[in-house]
Structures are given as C-alpha cells and as structure tokens.
Amino acid sequence: MTPRPAADSTHGPCEGTVTGAPRTWLRGEAAVLLAGSLIAYSGTRQPWWLVPVVVLLPDLAMAGYLAGTRAGAVSYNLAHATPLPAVMVFLGWWQHGPLILALGLVWLAHIGFDRLLGYGLKYGDNFQHTHLGRPGQDGQARMSRSRNSDRISS
C-alpha cells in the first residue's frame, strides 16, 4: 500500500490522520502531558533556566531529513514519541538522578507542547503528513468554514 501525499488546504485529511473527537482527545492528552511534566519538573529542584535551554533539543532530530523523508521521519519520531523520555524519567527516578529526571521531563513537555500545537508523528512520505494532520490545519479549516458561511449568508 502506497501512502497518499499529505492533504493541502483544499482537500480533506490524508490517510492515517486522526480527525474529529479522537483528535480533540489527543490534543487534550498533550495538554496534560505538558502540564504534568512541568509540574513534576518543579519537584526535581533543578533550575528553571534549564527548561528554555534544552526544550528544543528534540527538534535536532529533524536533521535526519537531510538523509531523505523516510530517514527524517524515523529520526523525528524517535525523538518525538514518549518511550525514550519515559525511560529517561524512570532511570532518573530509580537512580536518584534529579538532572536525568528533569531532562526527561522537559523532553516529555516538549512532546506535549508539539502535540498541543498539532505537530504529530511523521509519515515517511512528506514532512507535513502527520498523525494529527497538517500543522496549522485547524486554523485553515476554521477560516475556510468561515468564508463559506459568509458566502452563504450574503
């Protein structure tokens, strides 16, 4: 099965994209992940300046796209899925390593923030093809519906 290309603003969602109520639930989960990670971070007694310094480090995985879209999707997804930072959090807790614990929590917060903004896990066919749709898709859909309702009421 060949994946379809990502949808543009004139077409519907692409294959593998979560829509409707499940998408809303996933965004809610993302908000909880972000808030919970930062609340837990406050218990690590690590300095708050560490958060803005390291929060964007997972995005360095986008460098994988220099090797092509498939390799880029794999590297991006490894850095933007919860298992690796969850293991880091566990190891930090288990070994009483507050810095390791804090870094894992900031990583989870990054993932939560990305999901909240609509940046999902990537498919190998197109950077914009994610499990949450195209980034910014919600705003485009609202604008499109608004323009269509304006035409109908005129």
pLDDT in tens, 22-53: 888 989 999 999 999 999 999 999 999 999 99
* Residue 60 reports pLDDT greater than 90: yes
Cβ within 8 Å of residue 42, ≥6 positions away:
none
pLDDT in tens, 5-24: 444 443 455 677 778 888 88
Q: Is residue 8 part of a domain?
A: no
Domain assignment of residue 6, yes or no: no
Within-domain flag for 12: no
| Whole-number pLDDT of residue 136 | 67
User: Is 2 a member of any domain?
Assistant: no
Number of domains in the chain: 1
pTM: 0.79
Q: Which range marks the domain in which residue 82 is found?
A: 20-145
| 104 inside domain | yes
Contacts of residue 96, defined as CB under 8 A and 6 or more positions apart, other chains included, come to none
**CB neighbour class for 132 (10 Å; exposed up to 12, middle 13-18, buried from 19):** buried
pLDDT tens digits, 104-130: 999 999 999 999 998 989 998 888 888
Please report whether residue 96 resides in a domain: yes
Tell whether 13 is covered by a domain.
Answer: no
Residue 48 falls within a domain, yes or no? yes
